[in-house]
A and B are shown apart, each in its own frame.
Chain A
């Protein structure tokens, strides 16, 4: 299994080279690293903002881009009302700004093609971000590992990376996308319109050629608890389930 390099990850400056609105509440920021690193899909960076008086605010953001994206990383940041850091990115940051970050960080919620599969990935809202890095890594490596991604969003227009995911799904090369919308009707025949449950997990895993070797679950704390329980109820051994919780 992948182990993170335990090398140092000092603070560095990274320049915003592209900003792309993904959904009404989520925007992607692509950074050019001043000290390039190669991350593992699933890892995150810590970002810190510094005020003129020295006050700093610091948050973690998963890397959305594949390790193969060379010298740049994409972060997809959801705007939280009254948040301290995410509204800064949405309202203040522009292309050309330099931001301090360090990484890559985290060595458990990671997957590389050489770890094999099949995989079941379960993401809620912005929790899809590290899973997207895994899906993109699989594509970049032309990996034959079977992957099912179950992605829960409130509505169709809040499905982050929607066009890209549907295009990958259409290739029918072992990647399966299952969307579940919690506040709208499903749009595609394979999709659902309810919260994640054991039956949905079972049906999604049935799309894989064999039971998953690993499961990755990411999202808010409540989402992760519910989705991990749904996997366990669908007979996935708890030891195969890795979780990443975005906090409260």
Chain B
């Protein structure tokens, strides 16, 4: 439906069009979205636990985790509140390298990413491996600020950004695809921006 009187708008330059998923607009800043106050997690208190169901497979403290291979990833990110930001530059540990350090292959097809503030989000295991996702430790070369999920956040840039859990403290392999905190509250179970899977019920 054409909206009466809406003709101008702020179209992105056509050369960038192909990078903007449907319904998104280009943002220069970096807005913040979260469900509660920003937790301040000290790196001394930080840890990351890999689990299979209730069973811990391996746990790293901050120093141990930072000793894993660091990888750079520069990606466009897409927030469900309709902004897209180009070329965000992160460094962190690929999920592949975390699994390698734990000496495992994904034991199940599904995961839940958990955060220090108790929130969670589900991501299929195949979307975390093969270089697709990392646990990010640096943004533009500097430690990630608490507002943006520091000390460490998940980065799954090909899915809507709520899947890139902030204040990450673990990834848990689950037998079934279990909805996390946001997915239980109306957000899409998978969240592909190119298919506009924003809310549950979207195709």
> Which A residues form the contact surface with B (CB < 8 A)?
3-10, 13, 46, 48-52, 55-60, 84, 88, 92-93, 97-100, 105-109, 217, 221, 225, 228-229, 231-232, 238-239, 241-243, 245, 247-248
Do A231 and B201 form a contact, CB below 8 Å, given A57-B9, A84-B25, A106-B186? no
Task: Say how far B33's CB is from chain A's closest CB, in angstroms.
Answer: 6
Q: Nearest CB to that of A43 among chain B residues?
A: B186
Q: B201 to A92, Cβ gap below 8 A?
A: no
Do A107 and B37 form a contact, CB below 8 Å, given A51-B2, A55-B9? no
Q: Nearest CB to that of A54 among chain B residues?
A: B2
Do A48 and B9 form a contact, CB below 8 Å, given A97-B4, A238-B36? no
Q: For A49, what are the chain B residues with a Cβ–Cβ distance below 8 Å? A: 3, 6, 9
Q: For A229, what are the chain B residues with a Cβ–Cβ distance below 8 Å? A: 37
Q: For B31, what are the chain A residues with a Cβ–Cβ distance below 8 Å? A: 221, 245, 247-248
Most-contacted residue by chain B among A55, A228, A229 (CB, 10 A): A55
| Total inter-chain residue pairs, C-beta < 8 Å | 115
Q: For B182, what are the chain A residues with a Cβ–Cβ distance below 8 Å? A: 108
The one of A55, A100, A217, A245 in contact with B1, judged by C-beta atoms closer than 8 angstroms, is: A100
Q: B1 to A50, Cβ gap below 8 A?
A: yes
Chain A binding surface SS class: mixed
B16 interfacial by beta-carbon distance below 8 Å: no
Interface residues in B128-186 (C-beta closer than 8 Å to A): 147, 181-182, 184-186
Q: For B9, what are the chain A residues with a Cβ–Cβ distance below 8 Å? A: 49, 51, 55, 57, 84
Q: For B181, what are the chain A residues with a Cβ–Cβ distance below 8 Å? A: 108
Q: For A242, what are the chain B residues with a Cβ–Cβ distance below 8 Å? A: 35-36
Q: For B36, what are the chain A residues with a Cβ–Cβ distance below 8 Å? A: 228, 238-239, 241-243
Q: For A241, what are the chain B residues with a Cβ–Cβ distance below 8 Å? A: 36-37
Alpha-carbon gap, A92 to B5, bound state (A): 6
Q: A48 to B2, Cβ gap below 8 A?
A: no
The one of B3, B10, B33 in contact with A84, judged by C-beta atoms closer than 8 angstroms, is: B10
Q: A51 to B35, Cβ gap below 8 A?
A: no
Q: B10 to A3, Cβ gap below 8 A?
A: no
The one of B11, B33, B39, B185 in contact with A238, judged by C-beta atoms closer than 8 angstroms, is: B39
Alpha-carbon gap, A229 to B29, bound state (A): 23
Q: B37 to A7, Cβ gap below 8 A?
A: no
Q: B32 to A221, Cβ gap below 8 A?
A: yes
Q: A58 to B82, Cβ gap below 8 A?
A: yes
Task: Say how far A11's CB is from chain B's closest CB, in angstroms.
Answer: 9
B118 interfacial by beta-carbon distance below 8 Å: yes
Q: A59 to B82, Cβ gap below 8 A?
A: yes
